[in-house]
């Protein structure tokens, strides 16, 4: 049940950043459909999923997160089972990312990220062996299992998220910086092996980042996506088409594949200009900052680590998504949290927001010394 003082502990800053991001997603999806077939189908579905995600976020605040922690490993095992199950379902656009039953589709990788945060927090909360290099092997194994499965779907974008989340949570738990640097260097040495395991499409997305298109020359393959993304954003200018009107009447100029999912940030820049883009980035920054503040205020190890993990998850996804649209990173197919179209992603991130609220409502434990131990506060 909720604590008696819950109205005073609700992280309103977190919610006031999350809600406008969801609404911004509606605006971006509406614009992408306006430039497309104008059916409004995706927008209606996104609104319905937003309501479902809000309900899920509210429901998960009721049981104490300390009760939820008991089922962390079970949730992670279930997520791994679903990541394996996708290979027994038909491919969608040549990939094994979805479990489809009738008209319902589920993308397990979205929920695997949340389950990984819970499982890693549960593993670290009462241990101190991660303060030695040898003790990092189990957390690394927990991360690499979903990474390998997701990479083979193939889904490069989702697989990139796990390691930054792992490092963020290990750092918050107290792992030595020298050990983390050593692990990072080992990771860099394995990049050639990772390259050999990547599909041809994944490799082309990386090489497209370094391809130069001559003036007047039409880009091809994955370079086309980046070229169009930059062109559509440039059309937005300072104020965007919402205030300044459409600068070009030719619909083909605005064509951008996956503009309501992976490239939703591009559509928002075109619609609301660079000032609107700064607002989106500011909201994401506030969201991540408030999540970290919740972790800092929580004096219980599991809650603190989950808050840090979810904050890192939101921050890394937003960074990768926005960076790929402007050509700073390869196009990976990673969505913008709470903004991009997709029921699985919206529901998973809604659960993440609910978990953060849950933790903020129950900060009544004290952490002292190392490793973590907690003593209940006297009231």
Domain ranges of the chain: 24-207+222-376
Residue 354 pLDDT > 90, yes or no?
A: yes
Q: Which residue has the higher pLDDT, 75 or 180?
A: 75
pLDDT of residue 24: 95
Q: How far is residue 93's CA from residue 76's CA, in Å, rounded to a whole number?
A: 27
Residue 202 pLDDT > 60, yes or no?
A: yes
For the segment 231-247, the average pLDDT, to the nearest whole number, is 81
pLDDT of residue 214: 54
% of the chain residues with pLDDT over 70: 82
The answer to whether residues 124 and 305 touch, using CB atoms and an 8 Å cutoff, is yes
The answer to whether residues 317 and 26 touch, using CB atoms and an 8 Å cutoff, is no
For the segment 350-356, the average pLDDT, to the nearest whole number, is 97
pLDDT of residue 296: 92
Of 96-100, 178-182, 250-254, 308-312, the one with minimum mean pLDDT is 250-254
Backbone angles phi, psi at 6, to 5 degrees: -60, -35
% of the chain residues with pLDDT over 90: 45
pTM comes to 0.88
pLDDT of residue 197: 63
Tokens of 97: 């990312």
Residue 96 pLDDT > 90, yes or no?
A: no
Residue 260 pLDDT > 70, yes or no?
A: yes
How confident is the model over 123-144, as pLDDT tens digits?
988 766 656 777 788 888 899 8
Of 192-196, 305-309, 341-345, the one with minimum mean pLDDT is 192-196
pLDDT of residue 327: 80
pLDDT of residue 186: 72
Give the other-Cβ count within 10 Å of 105's Cβ.
Answer: 15
pLDDT of residue 372: 45
For the segment 147-156, the average pLDDT, to the nearest whole number, is 86
For the segment 331-360, the average pLDDT, to the nearest whole number, is 93
Strand partners, 99: 106
257 Cβ neighbours under 8 A, 6+ residues apart: 225, 228, 263
Residue 9 pLDDT > 60, yes or no?
A: yes
Long-range contacts of 322-326 (CB under 8 A, 24+ apart): 322/265, 322/281, 324/226, 324/262, 325/229, 325/233, 325/263, 325/265, 325/266, 326/229, 326/230, 326/233
Q: How far is residue 252's CA from residue 250's CA, in Å, rounded to a whole number?
A: 6
For the segment 23-50, the average pLDDT, to the nearest whole number, is 89
Q: How far is residue 221's CA from residue 241's CA, in Å, rounded to a whole number?
A: 28
């Amino acid at each position: 049940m909720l604590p008696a003082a819950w109205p005073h502990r609700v992280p309103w800053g977190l919610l006031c950043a999350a809600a406008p991001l969801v609404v911004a997603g509606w605006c971006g999806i509406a614009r992408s459909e306006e430039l497309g077939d104008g059916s409004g189908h995706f927008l209606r579905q996104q609104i319905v999923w937003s309501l479902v995600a809000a309900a899920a976020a509210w429901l998960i605040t009721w049981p104490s997160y300390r009760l939820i922690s008991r089922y962390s490993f079970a949730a992670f095992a279930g997520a791994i089972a679903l990541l394996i199950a996708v290979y027994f379902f038909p491919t969608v656009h040549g990939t094994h990312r979805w479990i489809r039953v009738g008209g319902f589709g589920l993308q397990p990788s979205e929920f695997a990220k949340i389950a990984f945060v819970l499982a890693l927090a549960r593993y670290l909360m009462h241990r101190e062996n991660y303060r030695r290099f040898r003790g990092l092997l189990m957390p690394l194994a927990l991360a690499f299992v979903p990474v390998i499965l997701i990479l083979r779907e193939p889904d490069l974008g989702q697989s990139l998220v796990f390691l930054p989340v792992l490092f963020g949570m290990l750092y918050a738990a107290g792992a030595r910086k020298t050990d983390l640097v050593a692990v990072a260097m080992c990771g860099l040495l394995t990049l050639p092996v990772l390259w050999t395991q990547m599909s041809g499409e994944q490799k082309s997305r990386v090489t497209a980042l370094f391809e130069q298109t001559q003036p007047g020359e039409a880009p091809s393959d994955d370079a086309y996506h980046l070229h169009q993304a930059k062109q559509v954003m440039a059309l937005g200018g300072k104020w965007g088409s919402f205030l300044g009107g459409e600068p070009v009447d030719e619909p083909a100029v605005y064509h951008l594949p996956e503009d309501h999912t992976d490239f939703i940030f591009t559509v928002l820049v075109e619609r609301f200009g660079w000032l609107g883009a700064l607002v989106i980035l500011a909201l994401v920054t506030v969201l991540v900052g408030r999540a970290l503040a919740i972790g800092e205020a929580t004096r219980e190890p599991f809650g603190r680590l989950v808050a840090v993990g979810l904050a890192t998850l939101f921050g890394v996804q937003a960074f990768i998504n926005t960076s790929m649209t402007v050509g700073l990173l390869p196009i990976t197919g990673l969505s913008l949290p709470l903004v991009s179209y997709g029921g699985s992603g919206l529901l998973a991130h809604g659960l993440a927001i609910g978990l953060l609220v849950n933790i903020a409502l129950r900060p009544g434990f004290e952490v002292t010394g190392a490793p973590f131990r907690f003593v209940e506060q006297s009231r």
